[in-house]
Amino acid sequence: MSERFYSDARLYDRLFPGGEPAVDFYRAEADRQGGRVLELGCGTGHKLIPIASDGHPCTGLELSSDMLTEAQRKADERAIAVEWVQGDMRDFDLGRTFDLVFVAANSLLHLHEAADLLRCFRSVRAHLAPGARFIFDVFNPNVRVLADADGVRRTRDALSFVDPDRGDVRVDVAETYDAAAQVTRGTWHFSADSEPDFLVAPLELRSIFPQELPLLLSLAGLRLVERFGDWSGRPFTGDAAIQLCVCESD
Protein backbone atom coordinates (compact mmCIF):
# COMPACT_ATOMS: atom_id res chain seq x y z
CA MET A 1 0.00 0.00 0.00
CA SER A 2 2.98 2.32 0.59
CA GLU A 3 5.01 1.22 -2.47
CA ARG A 4 4.42 4.47 -4.36
CA PHE A 5 5.88 6.43 -1.45
CA TYR A 6 9.20 4.65 -2.07
CA SER A 7 9.02 4.82 -5.88
CA ASP A 8 11.27 7.91 -6.11
CA ALA A 9 14.26 6.99 -3.97
CA ARG A 10 16.17 10.23 -4.54
CA LEU A 11 13.16 12.24 -3.46
CA TYR A 12 12.93 10.06 -0.34
CA ASP A 13 16.55 10.83 0.55
CA ARG A 14 15.92 14.57 0.14
CA LEU A 15 12.82 14.33 2.32
CA PHE A 16 14.68 12.52 5.13
CA PRO A 17 18.31 13.62 4.84
CA GLY A 18 19.26 13.60 8.55
CA GLY A 19 19.06 10.95 11.25
CA GLU A 20 22.70 11.06 12.32
CA PRO A 21 22.02 9.90 15.93
CA ALA A 22 20.36 6.78 14.51
CA VAL A 23 23.26 6.14 12.14
CA ASP A 24 25.73 6.55 15.03
CA PHE A 25 23.69 4.20 17.24
CA TYR A 26 23.51 1.36 14.69
CA ARG A 27 27.19 1.88 13.75
CA ALA A 28 28.21 1.50 17.39
CA GLU A 29 26.08 -1.65 17.74
CA ALA A 30 27.70 -3.17 14.65
CA ASP A 31 31.14 -2.40 16.14
CA ARG A 32 30.12 -3.90 19.46
CA GLN A 33 28.75 -7.09 17.95
CA GLY A 34 31.41 -7.53 15.26
CA GLY A 35 30.76 -9.97 12.41
CA ARG A 36 28.00 -9.94 9.83
CA VAL A 37 25.25 -7.33 9.70
CA LEU A 38 21.81 -7.63 8.09
CA GLU A 39 19.37 -4.73 7.72
CA LEU A 40 15.74 -5.42 6.76
CA GLY A 41 13.95 -2.67 4.82
CA CYS A 42 17.33 -1.04 4.22
CA GLY A 43 15.97 1.61 1.83
CA THR A 44 18.76 3.51 0.10
CA GLY A 45 21.39 2.34 2.60
CA HIS A 46 21.30 5.40 4.87
CA LYS A 47 22.50 3.31 7.84
CA LEU A 48 24.01 0.29 6.09
CA ILE A 49 26.50 2.09 3.83
CA PRO A 50 28.23 3.84 6.80
CA ILE A 51 28.32 0.50 8.67
CA ALA A 52 29.85 -1.23 5.64
CA SER A 53 32.37 1.61 5.34
CA ASP A 54 33.54 0.68 8.88
CA GLY A 55 34.57 -2.72 7.50
CA HIS A 56 31.60 -4.91 8.49
CA PRO A 57 30.27 -7.41 5.94
CA CYS A 58 26.77 -6.07 5.27
CA THR A 59 23.61 -7.37 3.63
CA GLY A 60 20.57 -5.19 2.95
CA LEU A 61 17.15 -6.73 2.25
CA GLU A 62 14.57 -4.42 0.68
CA LEU A 63 11.21 -4.79 -1.07
CA SER A 64 11.43 -1.77 -3.39
CA SER A 65 13.59 -2.10 -6.50
CA ASP A 66 13.74 1.72 -6.76
CA MET A 67 15.19 2.05 -3.26
CA LEU A 68 17.64 -0.80 -3.90
CA THR A 69 18.86 0.70 -7.17
CA GLU A 70 19.60 3.97 -5.40
CA ALA A 71 21.32 2.12 -2.53
CA GLN A 72 23.52 0.29 -5.04
CA ARG A 73 24.33 3.55 -6.85
CA LYS A 74 25.34 5.30 -3.62
CA ALA A 75 27.50 2.38 -2.45
CA ASP A 76 29.19 2.04 -5.86
CA GLU A 77 29.89 5.79 -5.92
CA ARG A 78 31.79 5.39 -2.61
CA ALA A 79 33.35 2.04 -3.68
CA ILE A 80 31.74 0.32 -0.67
CA ALA A 81 30.75 -3.34 -0.95
CA VAL A 82 27.29 -4.29 0.31
CA GLU A 83 25.20 -7.29 -0.66
CA TRP A 84 21.81 -5.92 -1.76
CA VAL A 85 18.94 -8.41 -1.85
CA GLN A 86 15.44 -7.75 -3.10
CA GLY A 87 13.06 -9.52 -0.75
CA ASP A 88 10.23 -9.33 1.72
CA MET A 89 11.08 -9.11 5.42
CA ARG A 90 7.88 -11.03 6.21
CA ASP A 91 9.46 -14.23 4.94
CA PHE A 92 13.08 -14.60 3.89
CA ASP A 93 15.83 -17.21 3.92
CA LEU A 94 19.35 -16.03 3.22
CA GLY A 95 20.87 -19.42 4.15
CA ARG A 96 23.25 -18.04 6.80
CA THR A 97 23.26 -16.30 10.16
CA PHE A 98 24.23 -12.76 11.21
CA ASP A 99 25.67 -11.17 14.36
CA LEU A 100 23.45 -8.11 14.14
CA VAL A 101 20.06 -7.90 12.44
CA PHE A 102 18.35 -4.51 12.53
CA VAL A 103 15.26 -2.76 11.18
CA ALA A 104 15.53 1.03 11.29
CA ALA A 105 13.28 4.05 10.94
CA ASN A 106 9.85 2.47 11.44
CA SER A 107 10.27 0.02 8.54
CA LEU A 108 8.65 -2.67 10.70
CA LEU A 109 5.47 -0.60 10.81
CA HIS A 110 4.81 -1.49 7.19
CA LEU A 111 3.79 -4.92 8.51
CA HIS A 112 0.21 -4.30 9.57
CA GLU A 113 -1.02 -7.73 10.55
CA ALA A 114 0.21 -9.35 13.77
CA ALA A 115 0.74 -12.50 11.67
CA ASP A 116 3.12 -10.58 9.36
CA LEU A 117 5.13 -9.28 12.31
CA LEU A 118 5.36 -12.80 13.68
CA ARG A 119 6.53 -14.20 10.36
CA CYS A 120 9.17 -11.48 10.19
CA PHE A 121 10.34 -12.08 13.77
CA ARG A 122 10.53 -15.85 13.14
CA SER A 123 12.60 -15.26 10.00
CA VAL A 124 14.86 -12.94 12.01
CA ARG A 125 15.33 -15.54 14.74
CA ALA A 126 16.38 -18.14 12.16
CA HIS A 127 19.10 -15.72 10.98
CA LEU A 128 20.62 -14.93 14.40
CA ALA A 129 24.08 -16.40 15.12
CA PRO A 130 24.85 -17.41 18.75
CA GLY A 131 25.16 -14.20 20.79
CA ALA A 132 23.58 -12.11 18.03
CA ARG A 133 21.27 -9.17 18.65
CA PHE A 134 18.13 -8.04 16.85
CA ILE A 135 17.56 -4.28 17.16
CA PHE A 136 14.80 -2.10 15.76
CA ASP A 137 13.27 1.32 16.25
CA VAL A 138 9.60 2.15 15.89
CA PHE A 139 7.73 5.21 17.06
CA ASN A 140 5.91 5.17 20.37
CA PRO A 141 2.22 5.67 19.55
CA ASN A 142 0.98 8.96 20.99
CA VAL A 143 -2.77 8.80 21.56
CA ARG A 144 -3.15 12.58 21.24
CA VAL A 145 -1.49 12.58 17.81
CA LEU A 146 -3.57 9.57 16.70
CA ALA A 147 -6.79 11.25 17.88
CA ASP A 148 -5.88 14.42 15.95
CA ALA A 149 -5.63 12.56 12.62
CA ASP A 150 -8.77 14.09 11.10
CA GLY A 151 -8.13 13.58 7.38
CA VAL A 152 -7.53 17.29 6.71
CA ARG A 153 -4.67 18.10 4.35
CA ARG A 154 -2.06 20.26 6.11
CA THR A 155 1.37 21.56 5.10
CA ARG A 156 4.30 20.23 7.10
CA ASP A 157 6.74 23.14 6.97
CA ALA A 158 9.50 21.18 8.70
CA LEU A 159 9.55 18.66 5.84
CA SER A 160 9.91 21.14 2.95
CA PHE A 161 13.12 20.71 0.94
CA VAL A 162 14.88 21.83 -2.21
CA ASP A 163 14.91 19.51 -5.21
CA PRO A 164 17.67 20.25 -7.76
CA ASP A 165 15.22 19.82 -10.67
CA ARG A 166 12.00 21.26 -9.26
CA GLY A 167 13.20 23.87 -6.75
CA ASP A 168 11.35 24.30 -3.44
CA VAL A 169 9.15 21.32 -2.63
CA ARG A 170 6.20 21.63 -0.22
CA VAL A 171 4.89 18.56 1.60
CA ASP A 172 1.21 18.31 2.63
CA VAL A 173 -0.15 15.34 4.55
CA ALA A 174 -3.71 14.19 5.28
CA GLU A 175 -4.04 11.38 7.81
CA THR A 176 -6.72 9.30 9.46
CA TYR A 177 -6.29 6.66 12.14
CA ASP A 178 -7.99 3.28 11.86
CA ALA A 179 -8.18 2.27 15.52
CA ALA A 180 -9.36 -1.28 14.83
CA ALA A 181 -6.41 -2.02 12.57
CA GLN A 182 -4.03 0.24 14.57
CA VAL A 183 -2.99 1.78 11.26
CA THR A 184 -2.49 5.46 10.40
CA ARG A 185 -3.52 5.96 6.77
CA GLY A 186 -1.87 9.01 5.21
CA THR A 187 -1.81 10.65 1.80
CA TRP A 188 1.36 12.60 1.13
CA HIS A 189 1.28 15.39 -1.48
CA PHE A 190 4.53 16.73 -2.93
CA SER A 191 4.24 20.06 -4.77
CA ALA A 192 6.59 22.43 -6.55
CA ASP A 193 5.55 25.94 -7.70
CA SER A 194 5.50 24.75 -11.29
CA GLU A 195 4.03 21.32 -10.55
CA PRO A 196 1.41 21.05 -7.80
CA ASP A 197 0.94 17.49 -6.51
CA PHE A 198 3.66 16.07 -8.74
CA LEU A 199 3.64 13.05 -6.45
CA VAL A 200 0.66 11.89 -4.39
CA ALA A 201 1.43 8.77 -2.41
CA PRO A 202 -0.28 6.80 0.33
CA LEU A 203 1.73 5.93 3.42
CA GLU A 204 0.24 3.54 5.94
CA LEU A 205 1.98 2.80 9.23
CA ARG A 206 0.86 0.50 12.02
CA SER A 207 1.18 1.43 15.65
CA ILE A 208 2.81 -1.13 17.92
CA PHE A 209 1.78 -0.35 21.46
CA PRO A 210 4.33 -0.83 24.24
CA GLN A 211 2.58 -3.76 25.93
CA GLU A 212 2.02 -5.83 22.78
CA LEU A 213 5.59 -5.56 21.57
CA PRO A 214 7.32 -8.00 23.98
CA LEU A 215 4.44 -10.44 23.53
CA LEU A 216 4.80 -10.49 19.73
CA LEU A 217 8.54 -11.00 20.11
CA SER A 218 8.16 -13.83 22.61
CA LEU A 219 5.75 -15.68 20.31
CA ALA A 220 8.60 -15.79 17.79
CA GLY A 221 11.19 -17.01 20.31
CA LEU A 222 12.76 -13.59 20.87
CA ARG A 223 13.31 -11.76 24.15
CA LEU A 224 13.24 -7.99 24.60
CA VAL A 225 16.36 -7.36 26.71
CA GLU A 226 16.42 -3.55 26.60
CA ARG A 227 14.08 -0.80 25.42
CA PHE A 228 15.37 2.75 25.08
CA GLY A 229 13.29 5.90 24.56
CA ASP A 230 15.86 7.84 22.58
CA TRP A 231 19.20 7.49 20.77
CA SER A 232 21.24 8.42 23.84
CA GLY A 233 20.05 5.31 25.69
CA ARG A 234 17.49 6.94 28.01
CA PRO A 235 15.20 4.20 29.39
CA PHE A 236 11.84 3.93 27.63
CA THR A 237 8.95 5.81 29.28
CA GLY A 238 5.38 6.52 28.18
CA ASP A 239 6.25 9.94 26.77
CA ALA A 240 9.24 8.74 24.72
CA ALA A 241 9.16 9.46 20.99
CA ILE A 242 10.57 6.07 19.99
CA GLN A 243 10.82 2.48 21.15
CA LEU A 244 14.39 1.43 20.46
CA CYS A 245 14.36 -2.29 21.13
CA VAL A 246 17.25 -4.67 21.71
CA CYS A 247 16.36 -8.37 21.46
CA GLU A 248 18.06 -11.74 21.68
CA SER A 249 17.03 -15.32 20.99
CA ASP A 250 15.18 -16.95 23.87
DSSP 3-state assignment of 83? strand
User: Which listed residue (36, 74, 90, 185) binds ligand SAM by CB under 6 A?
Assistant: 90
User: Which listed residue (30, 37, 38, 42) binds ligand SAM by CB under 6 A?
Assistant: 42
74 makes contact with ligand SAM (CB under 6 A) = no
Length of the chain: 250
Q: How far apart are CA 90 and CA 82, in angstroms?
A: 21
170 burial level (CB within 10 Å; 0-12, 13-18, 19+): middle
Query: How many other CB atoms are found less than 10 A from the CB of residue 186?
Result: 19
Looking only at the bridges linking them, the beta strands covering 128-139 and 242-249 are antiparallel
Q: Look at the alpha carbons of 106, 12, 92, 60 in this order and tell me if their dihedral is positive or negative.
A: negative
106 makes contact with ligand SAM (CB under 6 A) = yes
Specify the residue, 22 or 193, whose C-beta has the smaller distance to ligand SAM.
Answer: 22
Instruction: State the first-to-last Cα distance of the chain, in angstroms, to the nearest integer.
Output: 33
Task: Give the interface segment with ligand SAM, choosing from 104-112, 147-155, 219-227, 241-249 (CB under 6 A).
Answer: 104-112
Least CB distance to ligand SAM at residue 88 (A): 4
User: Which listed residue (36, 47, 119, 133) binds ligand SAM by CB under 6 A?
Assistant: 47
62 makes contact with ligand SAM (CB under 6 A) = yes
Which residues in this chain contact ligand SAM in the complex, by CB under 6 A? 6, 40-43, 46-47, 61-64, 67, 88-90, 104-107, 110
